[in-house]
Amino acid sequence: MAAKDYQKILVGVDDSADALAAFRYAIHRALADDAALVITSILESDDYSVFEAMDKDYVHGEAEALEQHIQDYRRLALKAGIKSVTAVIAEGDPGETIVKTLIPKYQPDLLIVGAEAKKGIKRHFGSQAAYMAKYAPISVLVVRE
């Protein structure tokens, strides 16, 4: 059986080694399939302390830093030769946001994520990657560094 060619790939990124490996694989797969690439990072508002959440300047600063970071990923993808690259920032629980909001909106046929996130309590008490693999209505590739 021949490998499937994907038309649109969604990749979730953060600063973890696994997410960087997922991004590298997404570049490779998108180039091989001439697929569009959607890069997303999720602003996890539940990671803020009560004081940080009340400080709009802090939240705004976090969002600006994330926007800059995801645009760096977008530039890398374009430089690698991917023709169609979209960068998306969303807010909420990463697994749920990707499965319930981003997949229906962008309609990728492959989701690539790292096995372990760098931030958040979730990495200790359950895997976002496992949630996405279980509930995503599309193929999911979980990458471990």
CATH number of 8-143: 3.40.50.620
What is the predicted pLDDT for the residue at 63? 78
Helix 56-80 vs helix 17-33: crossing angle, to nearest 10: 40
Which residues lie closer than 8 Å to 53 by C-beta, 6 or more apart? Answer: 45, 59
Top pLDDT among 124 and 38 is at 38
> At residue 52, does pLDDT exceed 50?
no
Give the pTM: 0.84
Neighbours of 15 (CB within 10 A): 11
Of 82, 111, 107, the residue nearest 94 (C-alpha): 111
**What confidence tier does 16 reach under pLDDT thresholds 50, 70, 90?**
confident
Tell me what pLDDT residue 53 has. 44
Would you say residue 55 has pLDDT above 70?
no
Distances (CA, A) of 82 to 4, 11, 21, 34, 140: 18, 14, 17, 7, 20
DSSP 103-141: HHHH--SEEEEESS-SSSTHHHHS-HHHHHHHH-SSEEE
Instruction: Please report which confidence band the pLDDT of residue 65 belongs to, taking 50, 70 and 90 as the band edges.
Output: confident
What digits encode the pLDDT tens for the residues 80-127? Answer: 999 999 999 999 899 999 999 999 999 999 999 999 866 554 444 447
Instruction: Identify the pLDDT of residue 143.
Output: 94
